[in-house]
Amino acid sequence: MRYQIKQRLMSLRGRFDILDESGEPVLHAVGKAIAIRTQYSLQSLDGEELLLIRQRVLSLLPKFDILRNGQPHALVRRDFSFRPRYSVQVEGGEDLRVRGSLLEYNYEITRGGQTVALVAKTVWSLRDNYGIEIFEPELDALVLAVVIVIDAVNATQGSSLSNLGG
């Protein structure tokens, strides 16, 4: 399945619209106003929360919990490395890895060495805009949440997705 994530320009809390491959809205990610940490709610169009993305505040490197129905679903963490890399520890499932290209503004998400998603950022745009192709349908919501986490980390560090080193 192919998706586009588009950040809304005039949103103080941070809001992303998630569109399917035909350009129709399918989900939203809404930032919650919490001063000490970044938090997003991945929601259906009718406002039902599918996943809650919540930053851990006392951590040397960025870590985000992803909750489903209030229960731990995954932990996204930036790995200690000269080049930014991310690991996704999935509750009751196989972990994911995120690796990317510094110059090409894109990255891939793998599980067990197999590519499960490709992500590319539109470089010359006023707002963040990502194209995502997900090859494992059961991972759709989780992959979309991971893209939002990486965007949030890079936004707070004054950088872009291009800083994902390969």
pLDDT, mean of residues 39-51: 96
Give the residues across from 97 on adjacent strands.
Answer: 87, 110
Q: How does strand 114-121 pair with strand 2-7? A: unpaired
Task: Tell which wins on pLDDT, 74 or 11.
Answer: 74
The distance from CA 87 to its chain's CA centroid, rounded to whole angstroms, is 12
Q: How confident is the model at residue 2 (pLDDT cuts 50, 70, 90)?
A: very high
3-state secondary structure of 146: helix
pLDDT in tens, 58-107: 877 889 999 999 999 999 999 887 777 899 999 999 999 999 874 456 89
pLDDT over threshold 50, residue 116: yes
This prediction's pTM: 0.87
Of the ranges 30-39, 47-56, 57-66, which one carries the lowest mean pLDDT score?
30-39
pLDDT at residue 115 in the model: 98
* Number of Cβ atoms within 10 Å of the Cβ of 144: 26
47 burial type by CB count under 10 A (0-12 exposed, 13-18 middle, 19+ buried): exposed
CA angle 149, 23, 32 (to 5 degrees): 30
Between CA 119 and CA 139 the distance in angstroms is 14
**Domains of the chain (ranges plus CATH)?**
2-163 (3.20.90.10)
pLDDT at residue 34 in the model: 67
